[in-house]
Homo-oligomer: A and B are copies of this chain.
Amino acid sequence: MIKKDMKLEKIAAQLKILGNPTRLRVFRFLVRVGTKGAPVGRVQRELSLPGSTLTNHIQRLVNVGLARQERKGVELICTANFTAMRALISYLEDECCLEECD
């Protein structure tokens, strides 16, 4: 049950990170662009965010495993981690919802 609590801690950490409007917008944007991802600059332009603010948010998403960053030349491509997101949703369905939930 120590292990189970570690899972809860991780889930809580991820929810917390998504629980900021700006960051949720960033993550939703990454989801929308799909598996090909988008460079930081594009996210910055399309969401009108200051660079330093955006960097902060993206790093936090990466820290909890909800996004990845990979350099492609000059640009840093960001992608949502769909697997992690699905796992997060599954946890909520399994542990924080009624059995008959859908």
Residue A40 lies at the interface, judged by CB distance under 8 Å to chain B: no
List residues of chain B with CB within 8 A of the CB of A28. Answer: 8, 95-96
Main secondary structure of the interface of A (DSSP, over half): helix
Residue of B nearest to A101 (CB): B86
Stretch at the interface among A12-20, A49-57, A68-76: A12-20
A residues adjacent to B (C-beta < 8 A): 8-9, 11-21, 23-25, 27-28, 31, 34-35, 80, 82, 85-86, 88-89, 92-93, 95-98, 101-102
Copies of this chain: 2
Residues in B neighbouring A20, C-beta threshold 8 A: 12, 16
**Provided the pairs A28-B95, A82-B97, A98-B34 are in contact, do residues A19 and B18 lie with their beta carbons within 8 angstroms?**
yes
With A12-B18, A21-B9, A24-B8 already in contact, the answer to whether A92 and B97 are too (CB < 8 A) is no
Most buried by B among A16, A20, A31, A86: A16
Closest to A98 in B: B82
Please measure, in the bound complex, the distance between the C-alpha atom of A15 and the C-alpha atom of B80, giving whole angstroms.
18
